[in-house]
């Protein structure tokens, strides 16, 4: 008989408390289960207050929020949209939804987020070709904000709006302002693996009330204000349900506690593993405070003598989930033929992808589980 397998340790599982059950029970007891209701309204107001922004609309996903943000920037077929290269694919996909053309911008070493120098290089090239972008999607990566002062200065010079993709960074901070506060609009995600979740869901934020009102209209199949069902323009089924919003309200009450737990996990990995050769942890930029959603490190195979895939395989043998970092967009088969701008050779996104590993970082990660992960990584070095 084979040995019983250890209980799986997941990368970033959801963590639920008593508040979530109370809110969900209230939603069920009230019979509000449709994609509208009092918990949706309250969740929007509570997120807006937490982020300190004027307006928010709850949606079915962060991808839906990104898509509507592009619609509200009046993106048309053939328009160019600059986009972070080291990001999840949804940021690029929404550009293709509108038959626009993505242009990818490399990261910098300070934060692994969009490099201002590479962005300027892309604008210089676009200006010469008379093909300035209609928008720039900037991703806050693994819970850390981009350098918005530098990026905004460049975009403002060309009068091009920023869309902040804060899908991974709710609760993160840039210069004393919460992520979700930057650009013309900002996007949050509450996917099941995020630091706070609604199972699936997202939110679009802006200080412009007209933009959010339009997003709300489009997200509800663009139904006109008429007694009968009347539609004058193309809409989408992008609204969040009252039950999922109830879950989100409970999660939001614990968000700061979740962030502290994830920071503690990150710091322990740093303390226990940073002395190993060839290992380097996700840089914490001096301009802010991340939410520590995932603990990420680079393993340089030359200096470490091992490859990051060996660590991933070793952990998987023990039923522990870890993953590579996002594969850069310019390396994706779907996007390999689009423009990509970088100032470093090799480019930073590719280096991070080749050497990067995301370690288990869930709020509920037990101390003995993390000790086991650390011991396994150290043992691989010894071998």
User: Does residue 3 lie within any of the structural domains?
Assistant: no
Q: Domain containing 374 — which CATH number? A: 3.90.1150.10
The answer on 62 and 204 residing in a single domain is yes
Does 13 fall in a domain? no
**Contact in structure between 68 and 47 (CB atoms under 8 Å):** no
Asked whether residue 139 falls in the same domain as residue 228, the answer is yes
**So what's the pLDDT on residue 1?**
38
236: left (phi over 0), alpha (psi -120 to 50) or beta: beta
Domain annotation covers residue 75: yes
- Give a yes or no: residue 12 inside a domain: no
Contact status, residue 33 vs residue 243, Cβ threshold 8 Å: yes
Domain that holds residue 72: 18-253
User: Is 117 in the same domain as 139?
Assistant: yes
Determine, yes or no, domain membership for 265: yes
Q: Residues 199, 320: one domain?
A: no
CATH of the domain at 126: 3.40.640.10
Backbone phi and psi for residue 107, each to the nearest 5 degrees, phi listed first: -90, 175
Closest CA to 241 of 94, 27, 89: 27
Q: Are residues 165 and 109 in the same domain?
A: yes
Three-state secondary structure call for residue 269: helix
Question: Would 310 be classed as within a structural domain?
Answer: yes
Q: Strand, helix or coil at 205?
A: strand
217 and 280 inside one domain: no
Residue 110 forms part of a structural domain: yes
For residue 381, the model assigns a pLDDT of 85
Residue 222: inside a domain, yes or no? yes
| Boundary of a domain, candidates 184, 219, 253 | 253
Q: Where are the alpha helices (DSSP H) in the chain?
A: 18-30, 38-51, 62-72, 90-97, 116-128, 148-157, 209-219, 242-253, 255-273, 301-304, 308-317, 348-355, 367-382
Boundary-marking domain end, from 253, 271, 294: 253
Q: Are residues 56 and 27 in the same domain?
A: yes
According to the model, what pLDDT value does residue 4 have?
55
137 and 282 in one domain? no
Domain count of the chain? 2
Q: Which residue among 205, 222, 253 closes a domain?
A: 253
Query: What is the pLDDT at residue 382?
Result: 74
Q: Which two tokens stand for residue 182?
A: 């930057």
The pLDDT value recorded for residue 35 is 86
306/236 same-domain check: no
45 and 150 share one domain: yes
Report the pLDDT value the prediction gives residue 225, as an integer from 0 to 100.
87
Residues of the chain with pLDDT under 70: 1-5
Same domain, 267 and 372: yes
42/186 same-domain check: yes
């Amino acid at each position: 008989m084979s040995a019983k397998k250890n209980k799986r340790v997941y990368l970033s599982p959801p963590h639920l408390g008593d508040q979530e059950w109370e809110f969900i029970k209230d939603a069920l007891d009230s019979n509000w289960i449709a994609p509208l209701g009092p918990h949706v309204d309250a969740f929007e107001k509570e997120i807006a207050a937490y982020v300190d922004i004027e307006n928010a609309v709850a949606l079915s996903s962060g991808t839906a929020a990104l898509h509507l943000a592009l619609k509200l920037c009046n993106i048309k077929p053939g328009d160019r949209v600059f986009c972070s290269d080291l990001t999840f694919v949804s940021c690029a996909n929404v550009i293709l939804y509108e038959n626009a053309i993505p242009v990818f911008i490399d990261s910098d070493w300070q934060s692994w987020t969009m490099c201002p120098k590479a962005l300027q290089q892309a604008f210089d090239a676009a200006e010469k070709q008379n093909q300035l972008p209609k928008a720039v999607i900037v991703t806050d990566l693994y819970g850390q904000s981009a350098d918005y002062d530098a990026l905004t200065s460049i975009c403002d010079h060309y009068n091009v709006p920023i869309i902040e993709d804060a899908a991974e960074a709710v609760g993160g901070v840039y210069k004393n302002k919460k992520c979700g506060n930057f650009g013309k609009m900002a996007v949050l995600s509450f996917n099941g693996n995020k630091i706070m979740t609604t199972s699936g869901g997202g939110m679009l934020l802006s200080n412009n009330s007209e933009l959010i009102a339009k997003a709300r209209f489009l997200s509800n199949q663009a139904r006109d204000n008429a007694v009968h069902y009347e539609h004058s323009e193309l809409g989408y089924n992008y609204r969040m349900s009252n039950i999922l919003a109830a879950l989100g309200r409970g999660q939001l009450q614990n968000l700061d506690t979740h962030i502290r737990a994830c920071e503690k996990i990150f710091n322990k990995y740093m303390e226990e593993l940073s002395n190993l050769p060839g290992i380097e942890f996700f840089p914490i930029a001096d301009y802010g405070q991340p939410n520590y959603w995932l603990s990420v490190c680079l393993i340089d195979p030359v200096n470490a003598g091992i490859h990051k895939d060996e660590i991933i395989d070793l952990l998987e043998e023990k039923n522990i989930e870890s993953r590579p970092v996002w594969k850069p967009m310019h390396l994706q088969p779907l996007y390999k033929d689009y423009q990509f701008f970088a100032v470093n050779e090799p480019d930073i996104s590719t280096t991070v992808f080749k050497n990067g590993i995301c370690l288990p970082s869930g709020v509920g990660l037990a101390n003995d589980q993390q000790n086991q992960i650390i011991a396994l990584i150290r043992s691989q070095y010894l071998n």
